[in-house]
Structure 1
Amino acid sequence: MNEVIAAVIIALLLINLIGLLVVGARITTQSTDSRQHERRITVLEGRVDNLPTHRDLTSLRSDISQVVETVATISGQVQSMTQMLRTIQEHLLENDR
């Protein structure tokens, strides 16, 4: 009977050992996955840190609006100058005749 009990104990110890090996393998896999996720999250955080903020976009919109206003003003001035030059050219051409 002692031999049967010893065999059962050895079988249980082997099952326990196999279970520990399986758990150890799973933990190793999870550690590797965890490190990969950590690296990926770090990369994403770096990218997010370099994205423009709402304040940056608001400032950019304001700057673009100022540029649009300036270009519109310059365009109006150029049209006025073009009209004056045409008038001067027509006057000079009339005087040459």
Structure 2
Amino acid sequence: MERVKEDSPITIKDDKGNLNCCIADVVSLFITVTDKLRLEIRAMDEIQPHLRELMETMHCMSHLSPDFEGHRTVSRWPETLSDMSTSDELDESQV
């Protein structure tokens, strides 16, 4: 009912009342990306979906300040990956 009153559809992600869930999602996605890199899974199409979801989830967290270093770091990666073709892999320095 709160979303109806605020005219905020359920499809819009935010952290209102869901901060702990957002934190858990961010941690889970970060671990997933890190584990893929440790397992030497470096293909752009294997990393990009998880990284994009991580970025979107972090942006939904209103408790993080806009100048939080994690935002800047995570936001740079989708830009880097979008310049790559699907079959490209990250090199050692990118990992």
Q: How high is the TM-score relative to the length of structure 1?
A: 0.26
Q: How high is the TM-score relative to the length of structure 2?
A: 0.27
Higher helix share: 1
